[in-house]
Each structure stands twice: as C-alpha cells, then as structure tokens.
Amino acid sequence: MTDKSWRHIAQATAAISGCAAVAFAVWMTGSAWCLWGLVLVGWMLEVI
C-alpha cells in the first residue's frame, strides 16, 4: 500500500476512536459540551 493509503487508514481509525470517545462521554455525562470534542477531532484530522 502507498503512504497515502496508510494515512487514510490512520485518519479513519482516529475518527472512529474520537467519535466513539465523544459519544461515550456524552452518554455518561449527558452534557452537550462534549460535542466540542468531536469538533476538535474533526479539526485535528484536517490539520494532519
């Protein structure tokens, strides 16, 4: 596989992990502010 493929796999893995973590945090705390974590994850993926 090319480096680009590995990069996409890494981004997908990070996105899934981030979404799962944020969803779990929202479920546990019931706080909408946790959704900002999802925004942060999305921003980080754009920067990488």
Tens digits of residue pLDDT in 1-48? 677 888 888 888 888 887 788 778 777 776 666 667 777 777 877 775
Q: How many CB atoms lie within 10 A of CB 46?
A: 8
Indicate the pTM of the whole model.
0.48
> Encoding tokens for residue 27?
């479920």
SS3 for 44? helix
> Encoding tokens for residue 5?
């493929």
Phi-psi region of 37 (alpha: psi -120 to 50; beta: other; left: phi over 0): alpha
CA 44 vs. chain centroid, Å, equals 8
Domain boundaries, the chain: 3-47
